[in-house]
Amino acid sequence: MQELLEIKKMGRQSIPLEKKVSLVSTATVAGPKESLGPLTDYFDRRNSDNIIKENSFEKAEAHMLEESCFLSLGKVGLTPGDIDFFIAGDLLNQIISANICARKLAIPYFGIYGACSTLTEGMSLGTLLIEGGFAEHVLLGTSSHNSTAERQYRYPTEYGYQPPGYSQQTVTGAGAVVLGAGGKGPAVESITIGKVVDPGITDAFDLGSAMSAAAADTIYQHFMDTQRDPSYYDLILTGDLGAVGSKLTQEALANKKYHISSNYIDCGNLLYHSHQNTNAGGSGCATSALVFLGYIYHRMINNELKKVLLVTTGALHSPTTVMQGESIPAVAHALALEV
Amino acid sequence: MKKLQEEKKEQEYIAAGEQNTGDNEPVIDINWFNKRKDQVHPKPPLYRNIILAFVFGGIVSIIGQLFLDLFIWAGLPEQEAGNPTVAVIIFLAALITGFGVFDRIARIAGAGVAIPVTGFANSVTAMAIEFKREGLVQGTGSKMFTLAGSIIVFGVVTAFVIGLISAII
């Protein structure tokens, strides 16, 4: 057993893949503010209001997640019965949106919590299930909703206050991706699983800074493990660091002699126009889901981007521990994708 | 009962584990990070905020004054006209919170609408609206004063202390 492990793991934190695990199909469902943003054309469904004819925001979030799951399956002619495992997670307590969605899909289910890093955490686990020969198709879904997350982590939606300039807007939306053994689409080339890093941030508005430490850590480790340098990738994409966090990540890596600024973008900086008043950009599970599964996936399919390093970052705090003065632990997972 | 030696062994395991966790040296230099993050953070536009707070606070006060004059004109004694004036301002703030306008104004006005009684009204109404789907009792009723509760508690405590002092003096 020991020998088998030695062969497959690469460096301290990375796993190269031997089989071809592809992103067969993706689907995205966007909220109203995101639908007015610059990437609106890349979303499959655009909602004009926050509650989507449901009677609560929580139901609306679960509804968007369900829609994105069914859409991603339908695009390649699959049904829930064809899927071996369903992996999902979101930002809410007890990952309730994912659970409600899993109840409807009735696929063997792993509920995961990685905060905003859920996309790559789930894709990593799904990829490993397929790589290990335990599944042919794995469905991954993730969602977040401004009105459900804000009231859990911060203030009620109608409460009037001035958020600091470095705060981020929780993105409303959902995304799903079907991972398949073989098949068409961009393939996962290697995975780097991140450690939990905590630079000591205690301000719950300052998630970008907290997560930037984790992002820098994982990207650095990925380069170390794979012996690559930033120019290997056409694009290095982080999840939801926002304006502040993405700047800190670039500078932290530059301190380590990895200069990524020429081929680096952050999903949180892409989702909104500057006049949409989102301060430092978007955050939440749906940020990377909408940008990567919508926009970047589209560009990879069209061969505009060939090698992409996707790093989604999660701030793993709870409102209770933040109030108690505990600092914010953060994690980032990286997935190298190739067409 | 555990033997002393076993307990000592367990302590050793824990100590060894704590010392030999994975490579916990973060890639970022924490001193650099702490200094740099403060430089990267956008600064709040202080002068703009102060001026806007002054203007909006002034507008709230003018509206209050108009209603006060109205109540006095209607025949209320000057000392008793204050209470219905405050009630009207609270009602107006709650109303525009319900229409979803207050939070937009507050983003610009800041302390100008947060410090007057409007801020208090907004915090109560916002919570009441937010939790109405959890039911009247466990939602609206119990969550309504989550934000405003401390204002009431410390307001009462302060009033009591001041009252006590003024009674002694």
The pLDDT tens digits for B126-161 are 999 999 999 999 999 999 999 999 999 999 999 999
pLDDT score, position A196: 93
Helix residue ranges, H only, A278-318 = 285-290, 297-301
CB A236 within 8 A of CB A311: yes
- Determine the average pLDDT of the residues in A218-237: 93
- Interchain CB contact of B103 with A (< 8 Å): yes
pLDDT score, position B103: 92
pLDDT score, position B18: 81
pLDDT score, position B2: 66
What values do phi and psi take at A138, rounded to 5? -125, 135
Confidence category of residue A2, pLDDT binned at 50, 70, 90: low
CB A57 within 8 A of CB A145: yes
* Backbone CA torsion sign across A281, A321, A97, A161: negative
- A301 Cα to chain B: minimum distance (Å): 34
Query: Roughly what angle, to the nearest 10 degrees, separates helices B117-130 and B82-98?
Result: 40
> What is the distance between the terminal CA atoms of chain B, rounded to a whole angstrom?
65
What ipTM did this prediction achieve? 0.85
CB A204 within 8 A of CB A322: yes
Give CA–CA dist A168/A210, Å, rounded: 13
> Hey, are the CB atoms on B33 and A157 less than 8 Å from each other?
no
Give kind and range of the element (H or E) at residue A264: strand A264-266
Domain spanning A188-338: CATH superfamily:
Stage V sporulation protein AD (3.40.47.40)
3-state secondary structure of A119: helix
Query: Cβ of A302: how many Cβ atoms within 10 Å?
Result: 9
Let me know how long chain B is. Answer: 169
Q: How many degrees, rounded to 5, is the angle at CA B77 between CA B71 and CA B82?
A: 60
Domain A2-181 and domain A188-338, same fold? Reply is: yes
Chain B contacts in chain A segment 143-202 (CB below 8 A): 151, 155-166, 195, 197, 199-201
Reading the block at residue A31, the tokens are: 């909220």
Res A5 pLDDT > 80: no
What does the DSSP 8-state code read for residue A54? S
**Extents of the domains making up chain B:** 2-40, 47-168
Give CA–CA dist A201/A214, Å, rounded: 12
For an interface test with B, give the residue of A158, A217, A241, A250 to mutate (most B CBs within 10 A).
A158
The pLDDT tens digits for A257-315 are 899 989 999 999 999 998 988 889 999 999 999 999 999 999 999 999 999 999 999 99
Chain B hits for A248, CB-CB cut-off 8 Å, are 33, 36-37, 40
**In percent, how much of chain A has pLDDT > 90?**
86
Average pLDDT score, chain A: 92
What values do phi and psi take at B47, rounded to 5? -65, -40
The pLDDT tens digits for A98-151 are 999 999 999 999 999 999 999 999 999 999 999 999 999 999 999 999 999 998
- Interchain CB contact of A285 with B (< 8 Å): no
- B169 Cα to chain A: minimum distance (Å): 39
CATH topology of domain A2-181: Peroxisomal Thiolase; Chain A, domain 1 (3.40.47)
Question: What's the burial of A147, exposed, middle or buried (CB within 10 Å: 0-12/13-18/19+)?
Answer: buried
- Determine the average pLDDT of the residues in A63-73: 95
Of B42, B105, B127, the CB nearest to A156: B127
Give kind and range of the element (H or E) at residue A333: strand A330-338
- B21 Cα to chain A: minimum distance (Å): 11
Chain B hits for A252, CB-CB cut-off 8 Å, are 27-29, 32-33
Strand A109-111 and strand A85-90: the pairing is parallel
Give CA–CA dist B130/B163, Å, rounded: 36
> What is the distance between the terminal CA atoms of chain A, rounded to a whole angstrom?
32
> Hey, are the CB atoms on B27 and A55 less than 8 Å from each other?
no
Spacing of C-alpha B63 from chain mean position: 24
- B71 Cα to chain A: minimum distance (Å): 29
Nearest to A144 by CA among A260, A53, A62, A35: A62
Low-confidence ranges of chain B (pLDDT < 70): 1-2, 22-25
Res A190 pLDDT > 90: yes
pLDDT score, position A71: 95
CB A144 within 8 A of CB A285: yes
Count helices and strands in chain B by DSSP H and E runs:
9, 0
Of B24, B43, B103, the CB nearest to A159: B103
What does the DSSP 8-state code read for residue A276? G
Query: Cβ of A17: how many Cβ atoms within 10 Å?
Result: 17
- Interchain CB contact of B97 with A (< 8 Å): yes
Res A91 pLDDT > 90: yes
Reading the block at residue A169, the tokens are: 């807007």
- Determine the average pLDDT of the residues in A224-244: 93
- A159 Cα to chain B: minimum distance (Å): 5
Reading the block at residue A273, the tokens are: 């126009």
pLDDT score, position B19: 79
> Hey, are the CB atoms on A199 and B28 less than 8 Å from each other?
yes
Spacing of C-alpha A24 from chain mean position: 17
Strand A264-266 and strand A14-30: the pairing is unpaired
Res A171 pLDDT > 90: yes
CB contacts < 8 A (A, B): 114
**Extents of the domains making up chain A:** 2-181, 188-338
Chain B hits for A164, CB-CB cut-off 8 Å, are 41-42, 44
